[in-house]
Amino acid sequence: MGQQLPKAVRNLGWISFFTDFASEMVYPIVPLFLTSALGAPVAVLGLIEGVAEAIVSVMKGLSGWHSDKIGLRVPYIRLGYGMAALSKPLMALAYAWPLVFLARAVDRLGKGLRSTARDAMIADAVDCKIAGRAFGFHRMMDTGGAIVGVLFALLLLKFLPGEYRLIFLIASVPGLAAVWLTFRLRELRKAGEPRESCFAPEHEVQPRVETTVQAGPMGFSPAYWLTLGLLMLFAFANSSDTLLLLRARNLGWDDTQVILGYLLFNLTYAASAYPLGVLSDRLGRWRMLVGGWALYSAVYFGFSFSDGQSIWWLFPLYGLSMGLTEGVGKALISGHVPVLRKGTALGVFHMALGFTALASSVVAGLLWDHVSPSAPFRLGGAVALAAVVVAAILAPRISKAGTAGKEG
């Protein structure tokens, strides 16, 4: 039996469940709404998603730093989830793509406010030995909500075909449930208390973690910056998921088939995230991460070369690749973080990946419009493959540097 997850981690899981329930009722419909109802080009979609992620990135960095400074996580979590709920009715009011951009900006601003504080609270709540389990559980709950949201989107599209704005309004209900649940959160009394090192032998407790890893920029270890660099390289391969949905549409799928494909992705993602997170605590996180990147590369190359009938199997494989990488990556980076500055370090992590996602989404949208719909996927597959090669070379050195930093 594994160590039980703390109440704070479980509560945050349910909050994310209801938020993703609401968000995933909307997310797969947004590209259909933009391109079909509002007539926006694909490059605009890439721009909206990219700039939205840039907003997230800046706010994740600032909110993480400030939550460390004031020693509070809950206000950022509560406000962030509130803004996510507000964005749904704003989307329903959109009659031109700039208004969709505004709604997405509000949603992403909320995500930026809450995500770093939430991840820092999870990291504060658990011993580093079960960080993979904790982040995997959260990812499972988050994606479980996405599954329910996609199922509701399917039902609503069946009974309310083309009524995109009404669906956006209905999506506000689970979003409000998530906001209500945030009022059950309490600050952790021992947030930031030094815990056992993730790299030192089990019997060695490091009481001065805050002062033993001041070796690199901003006081973060070289292992932290090398890990972040590799995660950024892969992030450039990982353009917006909306392009996958548009690719399915481009290959002849109708609205219902597009949502079903997205459902297959989320089902696999939710089913794999928690057990793979637990497995990463036992087998090693770099192994899981590199395997996920390799699978991602194969999936993206598949989307570039396959036809409409053969891409069905790519959606669940894409979900498995995310289960291998998303929570595991957060657990990995958190192992290289000074304990009393988790908010700041995770904020830098989120901000760096978000700006990389901005570049990735904009480039992918331009490639779609000016080269071919398959071009973004060939680029993504190639960059992910490069990340696999570089990680295979550097991961042992990073692990060694992390161990040395903790023992210094």
Q: pTM here?
A: 0.65
pLDDT value at position 381? Answer: 94
Per the CB < 8 A criterion, the answer to whether 67 and 343 are in contact is: yes
Q: Stretch 26-50: mean pLDDT, rounded?
A: 71
The pLDDT, as a whole number, for residue 295 is 94
What is the model's pLDDT at position 202?
Answer: 33
Has residue 14 got a pLDDT over 90?
Answer: yes
Q: What local confidence, expressed as pLDDT, does residue 401 receive?
A: 55
- Please tell me the predicted confidence (pLDDT) of residue 344: 76
More confident residue, 341 or 95: 95
Q: Smallest Cα–Cα separation from 140: which of 327, 317, 288, 283?
A: 327
Select the more confidently predicted residue: 123 or 77. 77
pLDDT confidence of residue 217: 62
Q: Are 255 and 245 in contact (CB under 8 A)?
A: no
Confidence of residue 65 (pLDDT cuts 50, 70, 90): confident
* Under 8 Å between Cβ of 127 and 71: no
Name the residue ranges covered by the structural domains of the chain. 8-184+216-407
Residue 208 confidence (pLDDT) above 80: no
Q: Burial-class residue 94 by CB neighbours within 10 Å (0-12, 13-18, 19+).
A: buried
- The mean pLDDT value of the chain amounts to 79
- The tally of CA atoms less than 13 A away on the side-chain side of residue 350 is 30
User: Looking at residue 1, what is its pLDDT?
Assistant: 40
pLDDT for the residue numbered 254: 81
Q: What fold does the segment set 8-184+216-407 form as a domain?
A: Growth Hormone; Chain: A; (1.20.1250)
State the average pLDDT over residues 166-175. Answer: 89
pLDDT confidence of residue 18 = 94
pLDDT in tens, 259-305: 788 888 888 887 887 788 778 777 777 888 899 999 999 999 999 98
Spatial contact of 84 and 59, defined as CB atoms under 8 Å apart: no
Q: Which residue has the higher pLDDT, 57 or 237?
A: 237
More confident site: 220 or 91: 91
Report the distance separating Cα 43 and Cα 144, nearest Å.
30
Residue 325 pLDDT exceeds 90: no
Least confident of 70-79, 82-91, 128-137, 295-304: 128-137
- Write down the residue that tokens 């499972």 correspond to: 140
Q: What is the pLDDT of residue 214?
A: 45
